[in-house]
Amino acid sequence: MATSCEKMKKIQGHPCFGGNHHKNGRMHLAVAPKCNIKCGYCTRRHDCANESRPGVTSRLLSPEEAIVRVREVMASPVTGPIIKVIGIAGPGDPLFNEETFETFRLVDREFPDLIKCMSTNGLLLPDKMPVLKALGLHSLTVTLNTLDPEIGGRIYSYVHYHGTTYSGKEAGEILVRNQLEGIRQAAELGMTIKINTVLIPGVNDGQIPLISQKVKELGAFVMNIMPLIPQADFAHIQPPSAERLDELRRDNEKTIGQFKHCKQCRADAVGLIGENLQLAVTTAG
Ligand code: SF4
Ligand code: SF4
Ligand code: SF4
């Protein structure tokens, strides 16, 4: 694992962790199709809603196609100098797809200086932590929407774990337990951790201060409170206003740093946050 000095240098290079936002970019590789849970706000027609712009579906890549894309992007005079991070964020859950690990291995072999970053629902974090450690994953985003298994049962219609499908409170219990244990272990290994929380009005509002407190204790670096996009099971819920979101972020900033510039990039995004330089790359798809 990286020394604290190396770690600080890497954080500064990672746009999603507040580093050089206008200079450094990330490239997402959509290599992870399957998911093992069902979030109430997910339509499954698009990329994982935990880390991507709604309404956009990425073209799925195999690990071999992904490394070809990385070579092209890194060789391009437009994108090469700015890409500092390779992120895997979907379209399903990265940990539930072996292609994620294979892709990171291929990237690491050719581009060891690129920061390896992943976003997950956290269900398989304790199971996969030894693999992530061996890969030298630098930064991790976990979507944590509640600490309360009852509320979890309302947010997740099912959780598929070790061959069994759970629902209701039982599903919430397994997911929350694994998320928290995974965050704890990742922090212990020195990974830089971002927590995404989807604010679902009337469902998990009261959980936000509890989550920020808990993840701070566990060693997370920053929190990103995201507004609900009303769709799927939660199509009837009114999304939070910008003022409400600002207020919550301000309140929780006292506990843990808040990430405020998230533009919810698509899972195959290439470039600076809020921009997409795909056209600069020959095989843009
Ligand atoms: Fe959808 Fe992502 Fe939730 Fe899976 S983790 S159900 S892909 S939003
Ligand atoms: Fe940023 Fe998340 Fe992608 Fe990592 S996985 S580069 S934190 S959006
Ligand atoms: Fe990820 Fe949001 Fe940063 Fe885009 S702006 S790279 S979605 S954290």
Provide the pLDDT for residue 198. Answer: 96
Tens-level pLDDT at each residue, the chain (285 residues): 455 555 555 666 788 886 666 678 889 899 999 999 999 999 888 788 888 766 667 789 999 999 999 999 999 998 899 899 999 998 999 999 999 999 999 999 999 999 999 999 999 999 999 999 999 999 999 999 999 999 999 999 999 999 999 999 999 999 999 999 999 999 999 999 999 999 999 999 999 999 999 999 999 999 999 999 999 999 999 999 999 999 999 999 999 999 876 666 555 556 555 554 443 332 222
Does the beta carbon of 49 sit less than 6 angstroms from any atom of ligand 1? yes
User: Which tokens sit at 20?
Assistant: 């050089």
Nearest CA to ligand 3 atom 4: 265
Ligand closest to 264 (CA) is: 3
Ligand closest to 272 (CA) is: 3
- Measure the CA angle with vertex 37, ends 199 and 237; round to 5°: 30
264 phi-psi bin (left φ>0, alpha ψ -120 to 50, beta other): left
- Count other Cβ atoms within 10 Å, centred on residue 5: 8
Binding pocket residue ranges, ligand 2, CB within 6 Å: 16, 26, 28, 51, 85, 87, 89, 117-119, 141, 194, 265
pTM of the predicted model, to two decimals? 0.90
Provide the pLDDT for residue 44. Answer: 81
User: Which tokens sit at 33?
Assistant: 């199709």
Distance of CA 274 to the CA centre of its chain: 16
Long-range interactions of 157-160: CB distance < 8 A, separation 24+ = 157/38, 157/40, 157/233, 158/37, 158/38, 159/36, 159/37, 159/123, 160/36, 160/37
| Nearest one of 1, 5, 60, 71 to 34, comparing CA atoms | 60
Pair 277, 77: CB distance under 8 Å: no
CA of 257 to the centre of ligand 1 (A): 25
Provide the pLDDT for residue 259. Answer: 85
22, with CB counted inside 10 A (0-12, 13-18, 19+), is exposed
Nearest CA to ligand 1 atom 4: 35
Does the beta carbon of 268 sit less than 6 angstroms from any atom of ligand 3? no
Provide the pLDDT for residue 277. Answer: 45
